[in-house]
Structure 1
Amino acid sequence: MKRCEKCGVEVTGNRLRCPLCQGTLLQTTGETREIFPVVPTLYRQYHLLFRLLIFASVAVGVVAVAVNLLLPESGAWSVFVAGGIICVWLSLALAVRKRKNIPKGMLYQVALLSIICMIWDFATGWNGWSIDYVLPILCVAAMAALAVLSRVFNWETENQMIYFCIDAIFGIVPSILFFAGCLRVPYPSVISMAVSLLSLAAVAVFRGDSIWAELKRRLHI
């Protein structure tokens, strides 16, 4: 048992500071066990696997830089290897952080991967593949995955449909690039736009009342 002289309260467990004033606690009796269990994080549960992956990533980056320095005439390709490793870890970190809300995580992944691919496209001389292919394909893939996973895991319909609508709206973005004349290959974007519009129409027709009720609840309308 520990005691805070300032607040005059006794605190059980292994705390070092008072939960009220954050002052230092004084030991009054023998050591007591923590009353709240320590919940292991995902990193603690799989700390060895994460450490192995981190070491492997560092090893690949170091070897790539070393080989590139020995063969300078081959160009600065090690920069792209290091950038690829960083991009993989960014995507993995986002997936771990949003693992409790898969629909939101998928939506964030679409945005992150689209931005990463645009940066890579720009860094390699801008051939337009990021907006011609990657962006519309990611949007269609995310909508298809949400539709399948919602059936498999029996997600809350209203909650899942909101993210489905957001992703469908996001899938219309390629159409903006299409009408602005920024695309070299328009077919993937046109398909993405068609799938998005059909998805929004299906949600509005078959789940419109549920979606509106959920939006009113969330927005306190």
Structure 2
Amino acid sequence: MKHCESCRIDFATPVEICPVCGGPLSGQNEKPVYPVLGFRRRYHLVRRILLFCSILTVAICVFVNLAVMPHFWWWLIVATSFIYTWTALPHILRTGGNAGGKILMQVVCMGALVMLLDAETGWRGWSVDFVLPIILCIGIAAIMVVVLCNLTHWARYVLYQVVLALLGFLPLVFYWIDFSRVFWAAAVPAVMALASLTALALFGDRSIKNEFLKRFRF
């Protein structure tokens, strides 16, 4: 480690000059660490192989489906599942990022997925009657857990909390326009959304308002 007598700070660097004050650094030189590019190449190779296997699997399913059961296109379910996996997993596994954004992304993707699967299997309405409300409830609960675990940084998640809360009223809207048929299932996420917004209004401090002003540049 290098040490700056003026700043009294240690630096892991091979240079001889302090990056803060420009004074001399004392101590042993550190060898620079360079990224290992070979690992990145192997990662891209494995990703391409998995993508090829996914496309090949869907193609085989299409052939088998049309040859054995042409009256029911179940290959669409397989293709939809692969599309969801390739769309959502990279976002989940990406290091860094905002946990609230990841939760919102999964709620939107999973909600779209179940509705698409319902449509592909003849649209029985199970997606909007039960599964979508469950997904929204899990999303609202998850963002509240994240907020409770990071109360000092609540402002970072407030925008995602509000968006998820607004989405929580969507099943109730679907019921009002006769798109869904189960009232209690539509009401549960709406109640959770109302509780989330109420908690935000009662316990949010000035940093919450500043976050909104920064996001929307008022």
Calculate the TM-score normalised by the size of structure 2: 0.69
Compute the RMSD of aligned alpha carbons. Answer: 3.3
Match of 1:121 among 118, 121, 124: 118
Matched residue SS, 1:156: helix
Partner of 1:159: 156
Rounded to whole Å, the distance in 2 between the matches of 1:120 and 1:204 is 37
Partner of 1:110: 107
Q: Please report how far the alpha carbon of residue 130 of structure 1 lies from its aligned counterpart in structure 2 after TM superposition.
A: 1.7
Partner of 2:76: 79
Pairing 1:195-206 to 2, within 5 Å after superposition? 195-206=192-203
The alignment status of 1:138 with 2:154, answered yes or no, reads no
Rounded to whole Å, the distance in 2 between the matches of 1:132 and 1:86 is 24
Pairing 1:8-157 to 2, within 5 Å after superposition? 44=41, 46-47=43-44, 49-72=46-69, 75-95=72-92, 100-152=97-149, 156-157=153-154
Q: Please report how far the alpha carbon of residue 48 of structure 1 lies from its aligned counterpart in structure 2 after TM superposition.
A: 5.0
Matched residue SS, 1:64: helix
CA distances 1:179-203 after superposition (whole Å, capped 9, x unpaired): 2232222222111000100111011
Percent identical: 30
Partner of 2:170: 173
Q: Please report how far the alpha carbon of residue 205 of structure 1 lies from its aligned counterpart in structure 2 after TM superposition.
A: 0.3
Rounded to whole Å, the distance in 2 between the matches of 1:57 and 1:80 is 13
Q: Which runs of 5+ in 1 are unaligned?
A: 1-36
CA distances 1:1-23 after superposition (whole Å, capped 9, x unpaired): xxxxxxxxxxxxxxxxxxxxxxx
Q: Which runs of 5+ in 2 are unaligned?
A: 1-33
Q: Please report how far the alpha carbon of residue 65 of structure 1 lies from its aligned counterpart in structure 2 after TM superposition.
A: 2.9
Rounded to whole Å, the distance in 2 between the matches of 1:109 and 1:43 is 26
